[in-house]
Amino acid sequence: MLARIQTAGTSLLTKTAALVTKTVEKTVYCGKVTGELSKQIYKSEKLQPPSLDEFKSVYMNLYTNSLRYIKTPQQAVNCVKASGKNDLLKYGAVGIQLLGFYSVGEVIGRRKLVGYNCYTEKVIHH
């Protein structure tokens, strides 16, 4: 009886190790392919990260505009009213894309499509 259990356990461990090894190999391969593809795109598009001055100027402009709109909220309202239909459609589309990315992140984080796992005991009301 003990020999059967040992044989079954050894077989299970061998199969599990083979499956894990195969999965790791596929993951490493996909990672390497993605890295090489990213390098080729980076070189062909002549991409480069922003310089420190560009980074500072963008965020300083964002900061000063935010402060200005906080001090005079009517100016922010006028800016929204002055925007055209195409601008609103563009910003709406970007908002929907951001919501989609957020939703996908939530699904990945929960590892579940709908709802959260409940690990507490269910309370029965009388």
Q: Is 69 exposed, middle or buried (0-12, 13-18, 19+ CB in 10 A)?
A: middle
Indicate the average pLDDT of the chain: 87
Tell me how far apart the alpha carbons of residues 17 and 2 are, in angstroms, rounded to a whole number. 22
Predicted local confidence at residue 125, as pLDDT: 65
Predicted local confidence at residue 126, as pLDDT: 59
Ranges of the chain with pLDDT below 50 = none
pLDDT in tens, 73-95: 898 888 888 888 999 899 999 99
Entry pTM:
0.40
Predicted local confidence at residue 8, as pLDDT: 86
